[in-house]
Amino acid sequence: MRTPRSGSAGVDVDLTRLIRALGAVRADGHAIAGWSVYVAETRRASVGTKDRQTGDAHAPLTLAESLTARYKLIWDDGRVSRGAMERRAIERTPEPLLTASRAASFPDPDAVDVLGPAAFPEVATHGPAAAAVAAGGIEAFAPRLAAIRERVARHGIRTWSGSMHAAEGTSRVVTSSGLDIGGRGTSTGWSATFDGELGAGHTARDVAPLVDLAGRLDHLVRFVLALRHSAASPREGLLPVILHPDVVEDYVLGVLLHNLDGAQVAHGTGAFRREQFGAAVPVLREDITLRTDPLVPMAAGAYRFSQEGVPGSPCTYVDGGRLNTPILELKYARRLGLPPTAFPAAMDTLFLEGPASVSYDDAIAATAGGALVLSVLGVHTQDFTSGDFSLSAPQSLAIGPQGLNGRLRATISGNVFALLRAKDLTLVRFPGEHTPGLLTRCRLDAA
C-alpha cells in the first residue's frame, strides 16, 4: 500500500488510515475497485459584529479546527458511491461508513474516472499574516474594526453588522490510480453592512493593507449616505443604467456560469447546446471574452488542483463572443467527450473582458437621467435559461447632471443575453473592484 507524501501530519495520518480501510472494505460481496479522496484540514479564527456589538453571544469570537474527507468509490461492479466523513469518524473506524455507502451506490458510467499522476503548476496561495491570525493572532482584527467604527461615528451610521476571518488549510488529493498531490493555503476576509442598507467586503489570501479596507469603506459610506435621500423626479422607461460590480457578479455572471456548467450543457437544460461550443457563430458580442485563471498569485480563487485532482490552468469559456468550452468536472467531461476544465473558485480569478471600458466617474457623467443599480433582489427566482429578468432594485440611485441624485426604488427588466449582445454595452471600472460594472440600457420602473 502506498502512503501519502509528507505534508500536514494530521492529514497524512488520517489519509493513511482511510486508505487502509478502502482496501479492506467488502459490502454485499463487492470490493472497491477504484477511489478518489480529497481531504482538507483547516483552522480558522473569526469574529462577528451584530448591531455594533462585536464578539458578543450573537456574533462570537470563534477559533475552530476541522478535517473533512470527501470520497468517490467505484465498486467492482461499476456502481459509484460518494460521501464525506469528519476526523472523528476516520479516527474511530471508517470501515462502517464506507460499507454503508454501498447501499447508496448508483450506476453512473460517466463517473468512473479517477485521475493518475500529472504535472501540477506552482502558484502562491499562502500568506504568513493570515496564517498568524488563523493560529490565534486575533489582535490583527483590532485596527480593522477601529477603521470601521471611526467611519460609523464620523458619518452618523446608525448601526452596522459584519464579520472578519482568517483561515489556514492543508489539502490533498489521493487516488487509486497513483495521484498524490497536496498543498496549503490561507484566506482572509471581512464584510460590513451599514444601517442594514448596503454592504461591502473583500476576500484575499493574505491580510490586505489597511488602506485597501479604508478605500472600500469610503465607497460604501458614499453610497449609504446617498441612499438616505429620495430622488426628486425619477424617470421610467428604457434608460441608461449602470450595474454595480456586485450586480454583475450576482446576476449577469451568475447566468453565464449557470449556462456554461457542464451538467446544464450535457442535459440540455441550459441556454447553450453542445454543438454551439467550438462553432463559428457568436452567442454574445464578438468582443466579449470570459475566462478564468487560477494561477494568479495570491488571488482568493487561486489553486494548483481541484478536489478531483485536475491541475489548475487558465481556461477561456467565451472567446470573441463564441462558446469555447463548458465548465467541466470529470463526469461531464467524459459525457461530452471533452477535457476537464478549470473552474472559477472566486470572482477575482474570473475575467469579463473585451468591450470598451470607462472610469466610474466618466460613466456617471454619461448616464444623466438614468440610474446606478447597487444591488438587486430575487436573483434566484429568475429564468436563467431564457435570460429574461425582472429584478427588484430598491437600492438604486438616480443620476442627475451633477451626479448621484438620491434613492430610486425601482424594478429593472430585460434580457441578459440581449444586454451582452448590445452594441452600446460598456464596461465600467469601479475603484478597488476586480469585476467591472456594466453601462447598458434596460427598462427601469419606479416601485
Q: What is the pLDDT of residues 402-443, one digit of tens each?
A: 899 999 999 999 999 999 999 999 999 999 999 999 999 999
- Residues 189 and 336 reside in one and the same domain: no
171 within some domain: yes
3 within some domain: no
User: Cβ distance 312 to 320 under 8 Å?
Assistant: no
Separation between Cα atoms, residue 144 and residue 212, nearest integer Å: 11
Domain total in the chain: 2
Q: What is the pTM of this model?
A: 0.94
148 within some domain: yes
Q: What is the pLDDT of residue 128?
A: 97
Helix, coil or strand: residue 440: strand
Q: Cβ neighbours of residue 445 under 8 Å, at least 6 residues apart?
A: 236, 410, 411, 413
As given in the structure block, the three cell numbers for residue 83 are 460521501
- Residues 272 and 206 reside in one and the same domain: no
Burial of 349 (0-12, 13-18, 19+ CB in 10 A): buried
- Each residue's pLDDT tens digit, 373-413: 999 999 999 999 999 999 999 999 999 998 999 999 999 99
Is the pLDDT at 93 greater than 60? The verdict is yes
Q: In the chain, what percentage of residues exceed pLDDT 90?
A: 91
- Residues 277 and 163 reside in one and the same domain: no
- Residues 212 and 260 reside in one and the same domain: no
1 within some domain: no
Q: What is the pLDDT of residue 10?
A: 62
- Residues 280 and 353 reside in one and the same domain: yes
The CATH code of the domain that includes 105 is: 3.30.2290.10
**Where a domain ends, among 192, 218, 244?**
218
268 within some domain: yes
- Residues 241 and 182 reside in one and the same domain: no
| Cα–Cα distances in angstroms (integers) from residue 375 to residues 206, 251, 364, 393, in the given order | 27, 10, 17, 6
224 within some domain: no
- Residues 305 and 374 reside in one and the same domain: yes
The residue whose grid cell reads 450595474 is 243
What range defines the domain where residue 321 resides? Answer: 230-447
Is the pLDDT at 347 greater than 90? The verdict is yes
2 within some domain: no
> What pLDDT band is residue 5 in, cutting at 50, 70 and 90?
very low
Average model confidence (pLDDT) for the chain?
Answer: 94
Q: Residues 447, 231, 243, 425: what is their CA dihedral angle, to the nearest 10 degrees? A: 100
User: Mean of the pLDDT values across residues 79-87?
Assistant: 96
As given in the structure block, the three cell numbers for residue 305 are 488542483
User: Cβ distance 417 to 283 under 8 Å?
Assistant: yes
Is the pLDDT at 44 greater than 80? The verdict is yes
411 within some domain: yes
**Where a domain ends, among 218, 245, 268?**
218
How far is CA 382 from its chain centroid?
A: 19
- Residues 289 and 385 reside in one and the same domain: yes
User: Cβ distance 167 to 188 under 8 Å?
Assistant: yes
**Where a domain ends, among 218, 250, 275?**
218
Helix, coil or strand: residue 394: strand
Is the pLDDT at 131 greater than 60? The verdict is yes
As given in the structure block, the three cell numbers for residue 362 are 466618466
- Residues 208 and 344 reside in one and the same domain: no
Integer distance in angstroms from the first to the last C-alpha of the chain? 66
E strand residue ranges, 13-128: 26-27, 30-50, 53-54, 62-75, 79-86, 106-107
Please tell me what DSSP assigns to residue 89: H
- Residues 150 and 267 reside in one and the same domain: no
Is the pLDDT at 222 greater than 70? The verdict is yes
Q: What is the pLDDT of residue 4?
A: 37
- Residues 98 and 238 reside in one and the same domain: no
As given in the structure block, the three cell numbers for residue 330 are 470529470
- Residues 196 and 253 reside in one and the same domain: no
